[in-house]
Amino acid sequence: MTVTVDVVGEETAECDLANDATYDDLIREAGYHPQEASVLVDGEPVPGDRVVDADEVQLLRLIKGGATDGDA
């Protein structure tokens, strides 16, 4: 199955997944870790262990960036 992933504030991508893939699998396929992002379907968050049942989702990054050597 192919799912369109709109990473909020960034890019939109297409992810190819197995038919039994979960939303956590989708997050990983999009290049993120499930602890740093959540998936929204029709504007509502969905559990990571739920099987993907939408063709289009939004991926909301909860953690972005970090401290660099110049930050203190």
State the distance between the two ends of the chain, measured CA to CA, in whole angstroms.
Answer: 44
Every domain of the chain and the residues it spans: 2-61
How high is the pLDDT of residue 67? 59
How far from the centroid of its chain's Cα atoms is residue 55's Cα?
A: 13
* pTM confidence score: 0.85
CATH of 2-61, one of 3.30.450.90, 1.10.10.60, 3.30.1330.10, 3.10.20.30: 3.10.20.30
Q: pLDDT tens digits for 29-51?
A: 999 999 999 999 999 999 999 99
% of residues, the chain, pLDDT over 90: 85
Q: What is the dihedral of CA 72, 32, 37, 68, to 10 degrees?
A: 10
How high is the pLDDT of residue 22? 98
Query: Residue type at 50?
Result: R
